[in-house]
Chain A
Amino acid sequence: MKIPQEKVALQLAAVGYIPDRDLATALWLMESLKRPLLLEGEAGVGKTEVARALALAYDTKLIRLQCYEGLDQSAALYEWNYQRQLLAIKAREGTDASAVEEHIFSEAYLLERPLLAAIRQSKPPVLLIDEVDRADEEFEAFLLELLSDFQVSIPELGTITATTIPRVILTSNGTRELSDALRRRCLYHYVDYPDVDREARIILSRLPGIDSGLALQIATMVSLIRKEDLRKSPGVAETLDWAATLAGLEIRHLRDEPESVHETLMCLIKTAEDKSRMTREVSDRLLGKVA
């Protein structure tokens, strides 16, 4: 018998996301405890990708709410379609006022936003609340209420209770400290850069044509670069870009082509300061450590 964590890991691996054991456990707990999962970690470690893979693995919809400063209920939850309401009023001028009112506050005039959409699906979707730290504190409080009750009250329409409880994933980049209440409500997982072995597997699963030896070399090289004190460490997406570039150049061994390796490092390095730090000497030294 397989333990459930491993099942989750296998399901995710089947759709191209290689989780580590901790993450698989967290995802399984999320399923069994019905709690939202809060993912934190550096930019580019694949936080958003978790939600995408989860939706694929469960074969369900991914509903995404991108948070930003000033995000409010009307953009996140629901809104009345004012223009259509106005038109309806004009069109029915002269008829019974209460009938008009009943008409314009019906479902047909309701605009669903991500949060409302997420609780009205027939099959539980994956709700991704991306970069929740960018939203304001007031919104966070509102979110907390929604995440515990899973119902929404619309004054004109009444209370809408969730038909299914979505699987909720929140991500945060740490630009603002989240409230303790929200953190407590969620399971927590800190997404770190993958280790060499896992990163090699990620490369292999995303670029099936690549030589497995090369994938391992690339993963090793990237992990060495991350240890260099760079301003912006390369994320997994950058690694994949670089791997695709090297595969495109038909390079077999990184050590054989130090020239092209150094030239293509721009896939990984994103600031001028890091670029000046990553000289040819440095890249050659790191290459020397790659087996």
Chain B
Amino acid sequence: MSMAQASENPLGAGARTKLNGFSRILRDNGFVVGLAETRDALTIMSSGDAIRPSRLRPSLKALLCSRQSDWQKFDEIFDAYWLSRGMKSATRISGAPQKSPSGLQTLSAGQRGFGESDHADHVERGEGSEVSETGRSKREGASKTEILSRTDFRHLTQPEDLAAAHELAERLAKSMRARLTRRMHARRSGQRLDLRRTIHKSIAHGGTPLELIRRKRKDKPLRLVVLLDASGSMNLYSAVFLRFMHGVLDSFREAEAFVFHTRLIHISPALKERDPQRAMERMSLLAQGTGGGTRIGESLATFNRWHAKRCIHSRTCVMIVSDGYDTGPAENLGVEMQALRRRCRRIAWLNPMIGWQGYAPEAAGMKAALPYIDLFAPAHNLESLKSLEPYLARI
């Protein structure tokens, strides 16, 4: 924060430093706290009306929260920081704020290489993809990609293989989106005359409506909501799908991403980070405890209750990536799937297990969910992801 503003303040340096640290912790927890907020917080603290924590808390809460999730977290963080209560839990929530910034940077600086090297390149490819469809030469050149895209994710253990898979996933997400937007441009319809504007324009011609202004229906871009199972049984696949989700969020104008294991975590804010490595870092802080059991039904219930209204509109496709092994009761999952079904346009369930030989959806959870699914598809390799593209375009 700006020193000039702080030095004008009658507050002692100790209090200022303390407040500074507080806003840093809040930022680490995903709060949006800018200079103006810190300044106003100083004003509140020096006003004398908010000397005691019991009075300071509601003031700072109103000032520094900006969404419901902030609102729910705030009290705990506040108590931990200002009252040194439950300090351990504070560091857990904030992901070791004192040390992590420098550690984060060195990590991302060291490993940035593979994420970035090819960035400009595949933006170009995204645009020129319709040319290469017919030209074909590019496709043949990329023979290594072809092989990779058919390998089951389970067999990808080499780090460079993994990186390549990640990139392919990102590119796929981008090309999916390109096709979708083209389609929508062609479908503009519902033209009506805009009388007000037409009259407005006619003033220039002395009241004769020469220019007719029309009203176009506004296009609603397809929104993709991805719910990824990050439980232990999905361990081998989730890393690749996380990268895929990052690509989706990066390229779709409207997309939301969630991860679930025993509970549901909204990871879109973390994944919005452009640098994939940084995004993964932030994500892993958020999604601690991944790799445990799965409670799909409960996670879906959380989604339906808290996020569905905001995330889902009439052109939303919900994509669930899970193997369907639910440790909770299967009826639960059925009920929630039904509720979700009513809200959104399509539900696609990607199950990595379908790719295995002789697989049938035997898991009780999977069976309960099946009636509500529009598309039940394999997702064990990138090829299978690619085959989803035409399906998504039809939504």
Contacts and interface: CB of A to CB of B under 8 A. Distances in A.
Interface of A: 3-5, 21-22, 25-26, 29, 32-33, 35, 37-38, 40, 69-70, 74, 80, 82-83, 85-86, 89-90, 173-177, 180, 183-184, 186-190
Using C-beta atoms within 8 Å of the partner chain, give the interface range for chain B. Answer: 20 to 34
Contacts of A189: 62
Given A3-B55, A29-B62, A74 B196 contact: yes
Contacts of A90: 207
Interface of B: 32-34, 36-37, 40, 43-44, 47, 49, 55, 58-59, 61-63, 65-68, 70-71, 196, 199-200, 202-203, 206-207, 218, 309-310, 313
Contact of B203 (A4, A26, A86, A174): A86
A82 B58 contact: no
A75 B253 CA distance: 27
Contacts of A184: 32-34, 36-37, 66
A86 B207 contact: yes
Contact of A29 (B59, B66, B68, B202): B59
Given A25-B59, A33-B43, A175 B309 contact: yes
A188 B203 contact: no
Given A4-B49, A89-B203, A180 B32 contact: yes
> For chain B, what secondary structure do more than half of its interface residues adopt (helix, strand, loop), or is it mixed?
helix
Contacts of B34: 184
B8 to A, nearest CB: 16
Nearest to B218: A70
Given A90-B207, A188-B70, 16 more contacts: A22-B58, A25-B58, A29-B62, A33-B43, A37-B62, A40-B68, A74-B196, A82-B196, A82-B203, A174-B68, A175-B313, A180-B66, A183-B66, A183-B67, A184-B33, A189-B62
Contacts of A177: 310
Contacts of A176: 310
Contacts of A86: 199, 202-203, 207
A187 B63 contact: yes
Nearest to B199: A82
A40 B69 CA distance: 11
A96 to B, nearest CB: 15
